[in-house]
Amino acid sequence: MQTDVLRIGTRGSALALAQASETRALLMAAHDLPQEAFEIVVISTSGDRIQDRPLSEAGGKGLFTKEIEEAMLDGRIDIAVHSSKDMPTKLPDGLELSAFLKREDVRDAFIGRASPHLEDLPHGAIVGSSSLRRQALIRRMRPDIDVVMFRGNVQTRLRKLDEGQVHGTLLANAGLRRLGLADVITQLLPADTFPPAPGQGAICIESRIGDARANAMLMPIRHGETERALACERAFLAALDGSCRTPIAGLARLEGDRLSFRGMIITPDGKQAHEIEADGRAEDAAMIGAKAGDRIRDKAGPAFFDGWT
């Protein structure tokens, strides 16, 4: 069913709604259209509803996208706005990632109560995180503290922190900034020593392949540099079959027509890690990421991945 209004699908969390609103504002400005030309459609996802166990046990990243993608394939929405780090590397037939917005800060943010800095937490402190990558990196940095599963949206996790359930937690700086909550951050962790998830800080937009109307609307808001960086990072993930079950970090940076990439795989207990660096022409972003993934897999050996899934 075709309508004049462009329907934007999103999850219902405050952060997801902020990202959808940011996308709508960019489209309004790019096409000189009023807010009424766009409808934000909230869709409940399995990932939002399942709160009693880690996503790695429930089905992985696709739990945050499945119902939204079904709505797009059914024609109930025209485009979908996602956090890039939540996107599986394999999309349903008929759908594509058609645009990336300009990337925010990629770093992880620590919010501490027992100490403002992760490295200064007292022995035996409890840190909560739902990310296997963050959990593994914390254990690598501070094997003496207790890392626990910490599900929920940003506001829920901050409430649990204030209630004293944990002594600290980690969230994406980009998400906190988009919510106007940067003031809660007690430490920004350097990307070189605490590398981010592939895609962290970037909003992506999914649409139906061949949808000329959606493509024409999205063309002016596409950010080429972010698009190339994400092509590299997602190719690295794909080479490693990356999902919520796998602690993987990766970050591509562009300078002019050159791209540099650093990636890491780490065991969930934080005891073993392998890192890799690669660079090349920005136009070869996907190939650089894929080759880096193959190289780091060969470097680690098959035993490294035992017990990941």
Report residue 58's pLDDT band, with 50, 70 and 90 as the boundaries. very low
Q: How confident is the model at residue 61 (pLDDT cuts 50, 70, 90)?
A: low
| 172 lies in some domain | yes
Residue 15 shares a structural domain with residue 45: yes
Beta strands 79-83; 6-10: pairing state = parallel
18-34 mean pLDDT: 98
The answer to whether position 285 is within a domain reads: yes
| Same structural domain, 283 and 206 | no
Catalytic-residue membership of 86: yes
16-24 long-range Cβ contacts below 8 angstroms, 24+ apart: 16/81, 16/83, 17/42, 18/178, 18/179, 19/81, 19/82, 19/83, 19/178, 19/203, 20/81, 22/101, 22/178, 22/203, 23/81, 23/101, 23/203, 23/205, 23/221
20 and 56 in a single domain? The answer is yes
Which amino acid belongs to residue 267? T
Domain-embedded: residue 309: no
CA 178 vs CA 119, 155, 169, 191: distances in Å: 26, 13, 18, 19
Residue-number span of the structural domain to which 5 is assigned: 1-101+202-222
Residue 1 has a pLDDT of 41
The answer to whether residue 180 sits within a structural domain is yes
Q: Tell me: do 76 and 215 sit in the same domain.
A: yes
157/137 same-domain check: yes
Q: What is the pLDDT of residues 170-182, one digit of tens each?
A: 999 999 999 999 9
* CATH number of the CATH domain containing 240: 3.30.160.40
Which residue among 86, 93, 257, 298 is the active-site one?
86
- Write the CATH number for 3: 3.40.190.10
Residues 97 and 141 in one domain: no
Indicate the residue type of 101: L
Rounded percentage of the chain residues whose pLDDT exceeds 70: 91
Q: How many residues are given for the chain?
A: 309
Same domain as 8, residue 91: yes
Question: What's the domain count of the chain?
Answer: 3
Per-residue pLDDT at 49: 52
Q: Does a structural domain hold residue 306?
A: no
Nearest to 264 by CA among 236, 306, 287, 229: 236
Regarding whether 94 and 206 lie in a shared domain, the answer is: yes
pLDDT single digits (tens) 284-305: 999 999 999 999 999 998 888 7
Is the overall model pTM greater than 0.75, yes or no? yes
163 with 216, same domain? no
Report residue 50 CA to chain centroid gap: 18
What pLDDT sits at residue 2?
Answer: 46
